Amino acid sequence: MTNISAQASSGPAYGEGFGAYRKGLTIEECLANSYYANHARMMSGGYHVATGYAAAAKAGGADAQTCARIITAGHTYQRKGA
């Protein structure tokens, strides 16, 4: 059964990633320090954080290959202690 309330965190996770890019963090630093990637009750927290980070990077002029690398980093990220 899907936990609908947990996936409702995708918007804030996206915002967390978007904000981390704006603060100048790398995607690796962002994911390592991310609440949503490491602690939230959602299966794809790292992906949602990275999607927000990639959107901010794209707005900042990053090319498609860079954005794809960012999203892949979030997709393959393993939670701390996992």
On whether residue 66 sits in a domain, the answer given is yes
What would the two tokens of residue 35 be?
């609440």
pLDDT of residue 4: 52
Segments forming the whole domain that contains residue 42: 10-76
Please give the structure tokens belonging to residue 50: 């990275």
Give the model's pLDDT for residue 43: 80
Residue 36 in any domain: the answer is: yes
Q: Is residue 39 part of a domain?
A: yes
Confidence of residue 1 (pLDDT cuts 50, 70, 90): very low
Give a yes or no: residue 57 inside a domain.
Answer: yes
Q: How far apart are CA 70 and CA 8, in angstroms?
A: 22
**Mean pLDDT across 55-62:** 97
Considering the entire predicted model, what is its pTM? 0.88
Number of domains in the chain: 1
Give a yes or no: residue 18 inside a domain: yes
For 5-49, how does the pLDDT look when each residue is reduced to its tens digit (9 = 90+)?
Answer: 555 668 899 999 999 999 999 999 999 999 999 998 888 899 999
Asked if the structure places residue 81 within a domain, the reply is no
Encoded tokens for 32: 């390592």
